[in-house]
Structure 1
């Protein structure tokens, strides 16, 4: 068994160039991203600056409220009733590219959040999720 490195760079586990959305986009576009890319968190940007995060669970609550309709109708309903700004979490958890895997693990283990945005010079450089940390841990065995 390899020994886990205490100060391993966050860049070892982060997803670089994550899929993002602009805060003016439609929620149906976010829903399509979740369906097509099998991801669960999408950072929301205002130009290049991160301003929020949408989790798939947040969107699923809206779709559930839309009732038993086909996906096209659900998309239409959520677009008419809500915006990205209505749904996104604005209390972002962020780290810098100089942070460590341990920093990410501590931040995500001590909160209700399951993702952290990684910044470089104020712009998004990547994202780390609890799933990324689990994959990293599995590689250690």
Structure 2
């Protein structure tokens, strides 16, 4: 078994919560809290569900760090991360890992015929790796060593990218 042989559609979460661009941070926080999730895909409208951005816990922390109550009422389109990085539902796990490493992101929106059908997170990929001993064994025996000047902050990104992306 290899990363290329594992379809991203097998890992993705299909129940993706979405919000329109005019919802405010308070509304997003309620969605995140009530559903115990880390992000909401921002869509053009609720019918077409075309992704136009993503709002994550990290984006909200940046807003909250300003301690300006006015910011809580501003539409999320002013804070969401864009562009949305997407893959086809026919992509492989390796494709998702490569995109996450290249773009330094933790979530990829999955589309089928330009329609939102799922989302894959770094946690989904790690869970997949931990459940596949063959893949983990081949990585453990590889020669991926840490460069001497690699910072601690970059270690996990380095290991992930160099261990799983060829």
The TM-score with structure 2 as length reference comes to 0.72
User: Is 1:106 aligned to 2:98, yes or no?
Assistant: yes
Distance, in Å, in 1 between the alignment partners of 2:55 and 2:17 is 12
How many residues align structurally? 130
Give the match for residue 63 of structure 2: 62
User: Is 1:93 aligned to 2:85, yes or no?
Assistant: yes
Give the match for residue 26 of structure 1: 24
Residues 28 and 78, structure 1, Cα contact 8 Å, conserved in 2 = no
The alpha carbon displacement at 1:83 in A equals: 1.6
Give the match for residue 52 of structure 1: 53
Distance, in Å, in 1 between the alignment partners of 2:100 and 2:39 is 14
The alpha carbon displacement at 1:110 in A equals: 1.8
Indicate the structure (1 or 2) with the bigger Cα radius of gyration. 2
The alpha carbon displacement at 1:4 in A equals: 4.0
Which structure 2 residue ranges, 5 or more long, are not aligned? Answer: 134-166
Structure 1 residue ranges (4+ consecutive) displaced by more than 4 angstroms after TM superposition: none
Which structure 1 residue ranges, 5 or more long, are not aligned? Answer: 68-73
Residues 4 and 95, structure 2, Cα contact 8 Å, conserved in 1 = no
Q: For residues 30-80 of structure 1, give each alpha carbon's deviation from its aligned partner in whole angstroms, at most 9, with x where no partner exists.
A: 11122222222211001221100111111012112227xxxxxx5xx4333
The TM-score with structure 1 as length reference comes to 0.83
Q: For residues 98-126 of structure 1, give each alpha carbon's deviation from its aligned partner in whole angstroms, at most 9, with x where no partner exists.
A: 11111111111222211111001111000
Structure number with greater CO (CA < 8 Å, separation at least 6) is 1
Q: Which moved more, 1:34-43 or 1:95-104?
A: 34-43
Residues 38 and 57, structure 2, Cα contact 8 Å, conserved in 1 = yes
CA RMSD of aligned residues (A): 1.6
